[in-house]
């Protein structure tokens, strides 16, 4: 990290520089690999969506003072 990294255009990348982008990509790839090889049980998409809709509905009711 001795040399100053070149800044990336914020319209093209959310990262400040290529080094930060590369570190994030390596981290993300490791997370994806860990999830893909995990022995944890899978949760079906429809179940997750239904749970999130119910959670959002309950939070909206609480916010609005309904129920």
pLDDT surpasses 60 at 2: no
Q: Are 67 and 61 in contact (CB under 8 A)?
A: yes
The SS3 of residue 33 is: helix
* Residue positions counted in the chain: 67
Residues 6+ apart with CB under 8 A from 18: 5, 6, 8
Over the stretch 10-49, which tens digit does the pLDDT of each residue have? Answer: 777 787 888 888 999 999 999 999 999 999 999 999 999 9
E-state strands within the chain: none
């Amino acid at each position: 990290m001795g040399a100053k990294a070149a800044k990336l255009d914020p319209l093209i990348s959310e990262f400040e520089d290529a080094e930060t982008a590369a570190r994030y990509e390596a981290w993300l790839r490791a997370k994806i690999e860990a999830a893909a090889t995990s022995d944890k049980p899978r949760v079906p998409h429809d179940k997750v969506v239904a749970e999130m809709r119910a959670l959002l509905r309950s939070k909206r009711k609480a916010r609005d003072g309904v129920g």
